[in-house]
Structure 1
Amino acid sequence: MAGPNGADYPDRFWEETRMKIGFVGLGNMGLPMAANLLAAGHTLTVWNRTEAKAAPLKAKGAKVAATPAEAARGAEAVFSMLADDAAVGSAVFGKEGIQAGMSPGALHVSSSTISVALSEKLAEAHASAGQRYVAAPVFGRPAAAESKQLWVVAAGPKQDVERCRPLLEALGRGLTVLGENAPAANVVKLSGNFLIASMMEALAESFALTRKSGIEPKAFLDVFQSVFARSPIFETYAQLIAEEKYSPAGFKLKLGLKDMELVLGAARGAEVPMPLASLVKDQFLGGVAQGHGDLDWSALGALVAERAGLKRGT
């Protein structure tokens, strides 16, 4: 395997060395992910639109860059963890973007939930500049990021995935490699988010029905946890809906809308009808239209309860 200067290194090299990393985007997910890379002993330069969010990392030895290009300059690998396609495009392209700062042979690891089309564009743009690209979105909420319990799905050229494997493994409890076509990781991430959104819709409807039938949410939650819960994700969202804890948001409802639109875009491109995805997208759209876009996306529970004539806390 080729090392940072083109020399051949054994596979164990990337597990034993410490890398110079750039990290762009320090939101609810990016900040703990960057902190875990720093804790693993890597040298870190970070950028965030709101510089104050970098303070905890700066206190632990990270450098703070003025632009995404500066964060990428001289780095062997640059992570991006941003909210949507527009934020990623703004941070990657242009004279102050990640691509402008990356050296030939350097690696961009995109962990953002983005469209398949943008992932394809990133792969092509980096390849044309002699740079490397791996798509590596993650499953998990901020608490999972903090406790290194994320699940990472990665795709890209085999050598590049192996090159950043120690970094990806430092972020979570597991890694699934999905082949050499980078956008495949984005398809899997979007499909997974669709499953979560569909699950929340079913939970929301079940809790609304039982509540309106006079059954305490805690009682139905107990049944759910005893009979149905086998996944921390499923159980977490059931508890949020049962207890109506939609703030602070681990993942905002308006971002759920964005993800469902991306799912449907991918489905159109693959000519796959997804009527349930359309339904869930409209649910999120209704929530945003009612001013609930900054609540957690599990606030589907509140939207369904409201249509059922139920009031919060009853």
Structure 2
Amino acid sequence: MDKNSKIAFLGLGSMGGPMARRVAAAGYPLTVWNRSSGRADGFAEVAESPADAVQDADVVVTMLADPAAVREVVSSFASKLKPGTVLVEASTIGPAAVQELAGLLPDGVTLVDAPVMGSVDRAASGELSLFVGGHADEVMPLLKVFGSVNRTGAVGTGAAVKLVMINAIVNGVALIGEALALADALGIPEEQLKRAMAASPLAGIAGRAFAEGAYFPVRLAAKDVALAADAAELPIARAIHARLTAYPEAANEDIGQITKYFRT
């Protein structure tokens, strides 16, 4: 691909919006679509439907909430894809859903799974980590607009690695919340505990739990943990999923904020 390659970007949520803006800033011809049109404000070419967005596209990027949304949207435009098009699936939907997605695509269309790791701040700055499965050589220039690329193997392996990684991170943040609850019970001041964590092997996950300017909503974290728990016998993940979904008022807060609910 080159800078004349036509890109369609579908899904302008918290992550998709800044990612699509990076595509526009890189100079690619870009058409966007989002279910709620208000999120498309500021983009030059806005399609009324997914099928309209992908007309004549060389590369289509989907960044949607969950497997059901991806299945619905891709089903609505798959027949419109021209031979040679590459579909880059950047959502977190797990390897089983990626394989199902492959079955929806017509002959001559290449599927690349490229789920991303990072929050909205890193999406805006182009510092995401991408786990990329499939024949992605052709779209590497575009993928690098989003951040660093980690090649994982065949189609579906990117989704698999992302699911392992995000499950560990979400579970870790939840456990930081329980550590804070234990510290409260033992009378340990919060700042003292934070300093101890920062100087320990917990530093990385504690840093995410206490991060400012990051945004990964609890509802999506719970969705990702549920996907992991459906893929393997993971009793800890199931217990944490139950805790994440026990506080509906936290659904749209950043995952780091779940720690305050664990302390009450």
Deviation at 1:131?
1.3
| Count of residues in correspondence between the two structures | 264
Query: Who is 2:189 aligned against?
Result: 216
Quick one: distance in 2 between partners of 1:85 and 1:249? 24
Which one-letter code corresponds to 2:40 in the other structure?
A: A
Quick one: distance in 1 between partners of 2:242 and 2:16? 28
**1:108 aligns to what SS in structure 2?**
strand
Query: Who is 1:176 aligned against?
Result: 150
Coordinate RMSD, CA, aligned: 1.9
Contact preservation (8 Å) 2:119, 2:214: no
Return the TM-score normalized by structure 2. 0.93
**1:251 aligns to what SS in structure 2?**
coil
Deviation at 1:201?
2.0
Question: Which of the residues 1, 6, 13 maps onto 1:27?
Answer: 13
Contact preservation (8 Å) 1:252, 1:296: yes
Which one-letter code corresponds to 2:69 in the other structure?
A: A
Quick one: distance in 2 between partners of 1:67 and 1:234? 41
Contact preservation (8 Å) 1:190, 1:259: yes
Deviation at 1:31?
0.7
**1:302 aligns to what SS in structure 2?**
helix
Deviations 1:79-103 (A, max 9, x none): 000111121122111xxx2313321
Deviation at 1:230?
5.2
Question: Which of the residues 284, 287, 294 maps onto 2:244?
Answer: 284
Query: Who is 1:3 aligned against?
Result: none
**1:134 aligns to what SS in structure 2?**
strand
Deviation at 1:46?
0.2
Contiguous gaps of at least 5 residues in structure 1: 1-13, 268-272, 307-314
Deviations 1:113-160 (A, max 9, x none): 11322211111221x44311110000000011011110000101x3xx
Say whether residues 1:148 and 2:126 are aligned partners: yes
Say whether residues 1:89 and 2:71 are aligned partners: yes
1:211-290 aligned within 5 A: 211-228=184-201, 231=204, 234-237=206-209, 239-240=210-211, 250-267=215-232, 273-288=233-248
Query: Who is 2:88 aligned against?
Result: 109
- Identity rate, percent: 31
Quick one: distance in 1 between partners of 2:59 and 2:168? 31
Which one-letter code corresponds to 1:113 in the other structure?
A: T
Query: Who is 1:7 aligned against?
Result: none
Quick one: distance in 2 between partners of 1:249 and 1:48? 22
**2:19 aligns to what SS in structure 1?**
helix
Deviation at 1:17?
4.1
Deviation at 1:292?
2.7
Deviation at 1:257?
1.6
Question: Which of the residues 78, 84, 103 maps onto 1:99?
Answer: 78
1:127-166 aligned within 5 A: 128-156=106-134, 158=135, 161-166=136-141
**2:92 aligns to what SS in structure 1?**
coil
